[in-house]
Amino acid sequence: MSETRVEAAIGDSEFDRDTAVVPRGPADPGVYDTELSPGWTIISAVNGGYLLALVGRALAHALPHPDPFTVSAHYLTASRPGPAVIRTETVRTGRTLSTGQASLFQLDDDGHEVERMRVLAAYGDLGALPDDVRTSAKPPQLPPYDQCLGPEDAPGDTPLPGSSAITERLALKLDPATLGWVLGAPSGRGEMRAWLGLADGRDPDPLSLLLAVDALPPTAFELGLKGWVPTVELTAHVRCRPAPGPLRVSVTTRNLAGGFLEEDAEVWDSADRLVAQSRQLARAKLD
Amino acid sequence: MSETRVEAAIGDSEFDRDTAVVPRGPADPGVYDTELSPGWTIISAVNGGYLLALVGRALAHALPHPDPFTVSAHYLTASRPGPAVIRTETVRTGRTLSTGQASLFQLDDDGHEVERMRVLAAYGDLGALPDDVRTSAKPPQLPPYDQCLGPEDAPGDTPLPGSSAITERLALKLDPATLGWVLGAPSGRGEMRAWLGLADGRDPDPLSLLLAVDALPPTAFELGLKGWVPTVELTAHVRCRPAPGPLRVSVTTRNLAGGFLEEDAEVWDSADRLVAQSRQLARAKLD
């Protein structure tokens, strides 16, 4: 996996720079200025996981606990690259968990503030948890990293028109068994599996896990849907500090009905620990 | 299943009366007075699903759309039977979905308002959805209703000390395969399965599904844990209006680690449709 192991470090990487938030300070407590980078867009959309990590960073600063434990985000309007403001509220402070709320705003063409997303989250200290594990979960079965395929391996034109800037930020190697859609032969199974890292080799941390849960192509593509699949709500649980090295991400959809579907994601680290789980409700464009 | 089919109707049942909310009117828009019934407590806790349904009813009144599609609740402090106030906010109104927020408050012993839970939710109209279904989900395997066991079948003393008022409100018939904990022989599998209805025969609707996702005993009991398992956050997706008749509920825990566990619930209706999915993050008291 050497191609993903270059120099960028946690705190000094594309991901860290592009999710930086600047507190306004005592005059405007809990308010952060930020800039949505065009580097995390796909087609015309700013990636929802990137937005979640960015708001998650603001909450990590605003709350007394450092790590997201459970984060629920409602996506209200489409974000665009450019300036944004995050307003946070400390809802409750406890000994082991604190609860916070945050909203991301941008200005529309008329200069009016528009809310892009709203987040409710509980933060704690993953480092303070006992290391007991009684899990029946098993890591996803994936071919070896070098036998999985990234956008650079795509035949001819990329299957996704428009921006694919995010593919340059991610080290994404998809399981060929979940790539039938690329060749126009979707499997009909709502599954997407991949090795995932950051292109500059920055190791995962709890904040980048919020990106990881929404970084793969939509499972809907393997169900034969061609349209985009906008997220209505996504909730992520971060369960463990990830070990260095590439993550394995498995996303599954079991129920596509009434024009909506759920996407369940599991993120596993190089130490074979289930480090994050997420579920989102998304709209499906049926054709 | 005749024992669950008596007279109470949707709108006129214990569940409807105990989740009633009274809008304060134009003087105090979006604010609702309610009373937390002692009828939905277990041990010393007011059931989290009951609270979710109650707040869900307030949002159904406050928002232009009738049905919860996705509801995320953070449980902040322990609710008690008695008066409560729900303050709602309409976050965004769209054509097919509206987003709302709600908080449930009670007065503490000093007369100060304390926030019990905070909810972010998207509402829509389940009746307006296309009836296409492309699902790979299968209903849970459960023995016939009459071969499952309810609290009334418990040997000797109930395994749960304290209040079990909620058991009188529910028609709950648990799969014997998930009842090892009752006899002190938990299976070690994080599974709980049951037929679920309301004791007065009131048929399920989208609001009662918010109760159904958190109405079974904790999966942690089958994992050999004895302590209570307080919910930190619960997100429920309601996917379909349930058909009349008892529900089948399956709850699974795959990852108990670091003193926390997830509980994934699936609710199926009598027409074999997956009508609700939920996931909660809960604290586990390890012994």
Tokens read off for B270 = 């009598």
A185/A252 same-domain check: yes
Instruction: Look at residue B32 and tell me if it is in a domain.
Output: yes
pLDDT-based confidence at B1, cuts 50/70/90?
Answer: very low
Q: Which residue has the tokens 């620990």?
A: A273
Instruction: Look at residue B136 and tell me if it is in a domain.
Output: no
User: B114 pairs with which residues across the strands?
Assistant: B106
3-state secondary structure of A119: strand
A22/A119 same-domain check: yes
Of A270, A252, A94, the residue nearest A197 (C-alpha): A270
Provide, as residue numbers in chain A, all residues whose Cβ is less than 8 Å from the Cβ of B99.
74, 76, 118
B72/B159 same-domain check: no
Cβ separation of B258 and A136 shorter than 8 Å? Answer: no
3-state secondary structure of B252: strand
What is the rounded CA–CA span in Å between residue A33 and residue A21?
Answer: 6
Provide, as residue numbers in chain A, all residues whose Cβ is less than 8 Å from the Cβ of B133.
256-258
DSSP string, A6-23: -S-BTTBSHHHHHT--EE
CATH of the domain at B117: 2.40.160.210
Cβ separation of B240 and A254 shorter than 8 Å? Answer: no
Instruction: Look at residue A6 and tell me if it is in a domain.
Output: no
pLDDT-based confidence at B156, cuts 50/70/90?
Answer: low
* C-beta separation of A187 from A217 below 8 A: no
Mutation target among A120, A221, A277 for the B interface, most CBs of B within 10 A: A120
Taking CA atoms, A222 is separated from A212, A215, A237, A254, B116, in Å, by 19, 16, 25, 12, 42
Mutation target among A237, A267, A274 for the B interface, most CBs of B within 10 A: A237
Instruction: Look at residue A3 and tell me if it is in a domain.
Output: no
Over the stretch B97-143, which tens digit does the pLDDT of each residue have?
999 999 999 999 999 999 999 999 999 999 999 988 888 889 999 99
Over the stretch B50-82, which tens digit does the pLDDT of each residue have?
999 999 999 999 999 999 999 999 999 999 999
Taking CA atoms, B199 is separated from A131, A243, B166, in Å, by 42, 49, 10
B156/B209 same-domain check: yes
* pLDDT at site A2: 46
- Per-residue pLDDT for B45 more than 90? no
Give the mean pLDDT of B144-172. 80
Over the stretch A143-164, which tens digit does the pLDDT of each residue have?
999 999 988 786 665 555 566 8
Q: Which residue has the tokens 């849970």?
A: B140
Q: How many CB pairs under 8 A join A and B?
A: 158
Nearest-CB residue to A257 (from B115, B132, B233)? B132
- Per-residue pLDDT for B226 more than 70? yes
What is the rounded CA–CA span in Å between residue B260 and residue B109?
Answer: 30
Domain boundary among A96, A126, A156: A126
Provide, as residue numbers in chain B, all residues whose Cβ is less than 8 Å from the Cβ of A262.
237, 277
Give the mean pLDDT of B152-163. 62
Nearest-CB residue to B134 (from A74, A122, A256)? A256
Instruction: Look at residue B36 and tell me if it is in a domain.
Output: yes
A114/A45 same-domain check: yes
Q: What are the residue ranges in chain A where pLDDT is below 70?
A: 1-6, 154-163, 286-287
* pLDDT > 70 fraction of chain B, expressed in percent and rounded: 94
A263/A154 same-domain check: yes
A108/A154 same-domain check: no
Return the exposure string of A131-156: e unless at least 16 CB atoms fall within 10 Å of the residue's CB, then b: eeebbebeebebeebeebbbbeebee
* pLDDT at site B94: 96
Domain ranges, residue A248:
145-283
The complex scores an ipTM of 0.94
Cβ separation of B255 and A232 shorter than 8 Å? Answer: no
- Per-residue pLDDT for B241 more than 50? yes
Report CA Rg, chain B: 18
Q: Count the domains in chain B.
A: 2
A149/A181 same-domain check: yes
Domain boundary among A94, A126, A158: A126
Cβ separation of B262 and A281 shorter than 8 Å? Answer: no
* pLDDT at site A6: 56
Cβ separation of A255 and B233 shorter than 8 Å? Answer: no
B149/B273 same-domain check: yes
Cβ separation of B136 and A189 shorter than 8 Å? Answer: yes
- Per-residue pLDDT for B44 more than 80? no
Provide, as residue numbers in chain A, all residues whose Cβ is less than 8 Å from the Cβ of B136.
189-190, 254-255
* pLDDT at site A156: 63
Residue type, A119: V
Cβ separation of A99 and B136 shorter than 8 Å? Answer: no
Instruction: Look at residue A158 and tell me if it is in a domain.
Output: yes
Taking every pair of C-alpha atoms in chain B, what is the biggest distance, in angstroms? 56
Provide, as residue numbers in chain B, all residues whose Cβ is less than 8 Å from the Cβ of A118.
91, 99, 101, 120
B149/B279 same-domain check: yes
- Per-residue pLDDT for B3 more than 60? no
CA distance B195 to chain A (A): 21
Cβ separation of B256 and A133 shorter than 8 Å? Answer: yes
Cβ separation of B240 and A257 shorter than 8 Å? Answer: yes
CA distance A53 to chain B (A): 19
* pLDDT at site A1: 44
Instruction: Look at residue B85 and tell me if it is in a domain.
Output: yes
Cβ separation of A91 and B286 shorter than 8 Å? Answer: no
Nearest-CB residue to A233 (from B122, B131, B254)? B122
A122/A152 same-domain check: no
- Per-residue pLDDT for B208 more than 60? yes
* C-beta separation of B93 from B64 below 8 A: yes
Any idea what DSSP says for residue A160?
A: S
How many residues appear in chain A? 287
Any idea what DSSP says for residue A202?
A: P
A81/A45 same-domain check: yes
* pLDDT at site B157: 58
Instruction: Look at residue A132 and tell me if it is in a domain.
Output: no
What is the rounded CA–CA span in Å between residue B32 and residue B88?
Answer: 8
Nearest-CB residue to B257 (from A132, A189, A254)? A132
Provide, as residue numbers in chain B, all residues whose Cβ is less than 8 Å from the Cβ of A279.
235, 237, 277, 279
What is the rounded CA–CA span in Å between residue B286 and residue B69?
Answer: 34
Provide, as residue numbers in chain B, all residues whose Cβ is less than 8 Å from the Cβ of A67.
none
